[in-house]
Chains A and B, each alone.
Chain A
Amino acid sequence: MAEASVNTHLHRDDVGAKIGMWLFLFTELILFGGMFLVYAVYRFTYRDFFALASKELDVFIGLINTLVLLTSSLTMAMSITALRKDNKKLSLLFLGSTIFFAFLFLVNKYFEWSAKFQHGLFPGSNELLSLPKGEIIYFGLYYVMTGLHAIHVIIGLVILLFMFVYIMKGKVNKDYYIMLENSGLYWHLVDIIWIFLFPLFYLIH
């Protein structure tokens, strides 16, 4: 009994950690689900204006970013596999690429948004306010939804940076990689949400 009273028992439950992460991803999906609902309602109301406004977006930049994110999901998965096979260096290399792609995505986004701003298309601008209501809403949604997504990319980026350090220090390793797996899940979520945003804003006319 005396031993049992030592207060430093370590609790580790990888399955539990996975369940927790999945539940969290649910809430994230529902958060964006709310936005998709709003989008659907306004798309229905302002069909033609949405088609018109969406021509303003640069499909090319959007496509590049889609490819960037898809690739980053791939390197993320490969990083996890590499770590499980105890190849720390390769794992770091893949994780590093994921981080690089995440960064690239944000740079792209920055240029895309700046271009819009230069055209005077931002919430509250005279330029935008002179457009029909349907287009105002379209751009409002565009900024809010891609902005919210970009915030998620930034959060993901920070998480991945932490993982990089943890792997380097050996805190996350071949026998304990649940944190990396969960970060991977999060990153896939960020990717998937973009896969929905891309057609909704850039492709459908």
Chain B
Amino acid sequence: MSATTLSYGGNGSNGNHLDYLHSPKKYKGIFNWIFSTDHKKIGILYLISMLTFFAVGVTLGFLMRLELIAPGKTIMDPQTYNQIFTLHGVIMIFLFIIPGLPAVFGNFFLPIMIGAKDVAFPRLNLFSWWLFVTGGLVALISLFLPGGPADTGWTFYIPYSVRTSTNVIPALIGAFILGFSSILTGLNFITTIHRLRAPGMSWFKMPLFAWSLYATGWVQILATPIVGITLLLVAIERWFGVGIFDPALGGDPILYQHLFWIYSHPAVYIMILPAMGVISEIIPVFSRRTIFGYKFIAFSSMAIALFGSLVWAHHMFTVGMSGTAMWLFSLLTFLVAIPSAIKVFNWVATLYKGSIELEPPMLFALSFIFNFTIGGFTGLMQGALALNIHIHDTYFIVGHFHYVMFGGTGFGIFAALHHWFPKMFGKMYNKKVAKISWLFLFIGFQLLYFPMFVMGYLGMPRRYYDYLPDFHIYHFISTIGSWILITGLIIMFTNLILALKKGEKAAANPWGGVTLEWTIPSPPIHENFEKIPVVEKEPYDYSHYEQVIEEAKN
């Protein structure tokens, strides 16, 4: 970054420019937001809607855990339990973890980090948000229709999803619309990265978060249409009884599973890659060191996206595939672990000998690495054929995907939130409270999900509302864990909301970062840069760190 770009990175003063929250408005009140094509405002729209859905999802998770606190019926009947875990899964996957990082932080920061004024298609961007909200509402409508929400699980396995009398169609159509929204976001980001990088920002000067969004974008546009058509087929099956998946009419339910997982396995990389990108941003900032192995990290994102698309059938080892197919998919599954491990090694190498500062974003980032390592390792265990048969559809799986999705990406979202909050809103939160909330979240998380590995290994099946007394102790600890975790969530969000109102004014560069977003005022002005910057340095070059800090001070 050249000196010219740094020269206006003052302490949050905007010169003669209004920040994006106060720039001249075309519409008043809420319309100023929901009709805005400013990528920053759209990012915040996503943030608000996503967190609202998240709150609903957490409440459902809390209710499930309450039911499971003791053997026998506690607070709900089996049917309700089935519907709740389905809705919980659908919300958490399609409305929280998939859109979380790209749609919120990608929207807000991608253009800024590559030195652009906006994304390539601002109006399409707004349209994606509208689709997102519509899809979410369509999915939730089933709560209020007679018959209630679907009870199929978020995977909508056939033939049950065609036979059940609950409202499967709204969930399917909702997911379809959400998929469309996700495709448009990916398409927008890819074009943005190709077309709008600032002068001097070559591919290998691009921040790693941008790289991860680029890889994610490709997965989004190449994998999502398949699940789109698959879910649509289930809806058509329900409406017209076409027979494509229905064994009674000659169809093949296993075909459904293949099509579903051809998307849904790559989808886990839509969930995890951007989180890895965030971690790659945070680690160098809080260890004051250039990231170790920049190119390896960038390429491993692409490698994960590529190889990750070839391993879907490891979800189906028990359905009866040929032996060859089984060992092949097992082998491929092991292979994808390599690029992921490369990333972890590079982060650890960066931390090594860095001067580490345990600020809140860093704490969340480190817990990401911790949780993701456990989640990834247990994933490998499932990739092994023999073990897979033993733990298939047990709580081991539930433990694994919560470690990856929530412990990984979820904590990645919290890390991003704490890292970029001062930039987004120009306010600083109470760091001490943030650390306390982190402690609750971390401990609560381990208590909530670690016992699941144990009970799963011992044979506790998933998606059951009742269990044998043998498993009581594990479920009990897990439920207590959920209370601690939720306490952590409440503290965290209260802290952030209070900061919006009463927080201290944040500096332009509170953490001492060297990527472009830290060179502009907090909050950013309407079109991000007064003058498009000319990029000269590597993205994590800390050799001019003293200068950056000096600039940020005055």
Chain A contact residues, CB within 8 Å of chain B: 1-2, 4-5, 7, 9, 11, 13, 15-17, 19-20, 23-24, 26-28, 30-35, 37-38, 41-42, 45-46, 123-124, 129, 132-134, 136-137, 140-141, 143-144
Contacts and interface: CB of A to CB of B under 8 A. Distances in A.
Interface stretch (B235-243, B270-278, B312-320, B478-486): B235-243
B242 A35 contact: no
B195 A4 contact: no
A113 to B, nearest CB: 13
Interface residues of B, number: 43
A5 B244 contact: no
Contacts, number: 112
Contact of A15 (B23, B195, B233, B526): B195
B30 interface: no
A2 B194 contact: no
B244 A13 contact: no
A137 B248 CA distance: 11
Given A7-B527, A20-B191, A140-B251, 5 more contacts: A24-B183, A27-B221, A35-B229, A41-B252, A137-B244
A135 to B, nearest CB: 9
A9 B228 CA distance: 37
Contact of A5 (B16, B242, B251): B16
B250 A26 contact: no
B531 interface: yes
Nearest to B249: A136
Interface in B208-255: 221-222, 224-226, 228-230, 233, 236, 240-244, 249-252, 255
B191 A19 contact: yes
Nearest to B122: A11
B545 interface: no
A82 to B, nearest CB: 27
Q: For A20, A33, A41, A129, which residue has the most chain B Cβ atoms within 10 angstroms?
A: A20
16 contacts: A4-B530, A16-B191, A17-B121, A20-B121, A20-B191, A23-B190, A26-B221, A26-B222, A31-B228, A34-B225, A38-B259, A42-B252, A137-B243, A143-B240, A144-B233, A144-B244
A132 to B, nearest CB: 8
Contacts of A129: 249
Interface in B137-193: 183, 187-188, 190-191
A31 B226 contact: yes
B187 A28 contact: no
B259 A34 contact: yes
A124 B240 contact: yes
Contact of B250 (A9, A16, A134): A134
Max chain B CB contacts within 10 Å: which of A4, A24, A30? Answer: A30
B241 A31 contact: no
Interface string B68-94: 000000000000000000000000000
Contacts of A28: 225
Nearest to B118: A11
B17 interface: yes
A5 B530 contact: yes
A32 B233 CA distance: 12
Nearest to B230: A34
Given A124-B241, A144-B236, A16 B530 contact: no
Contact of B183 (A4, A19, A27): A27
A16 B243 CA distance: 42
Contacts of A123: 240-243
Contact of A20 (B120, B222, B229): B120
Contact of B225 (A2, A27, A132): A27
Contacts of A46: 250
A177 B120 CA distance: 18
A26 to B, nearest CB: 6
B323 interface: no
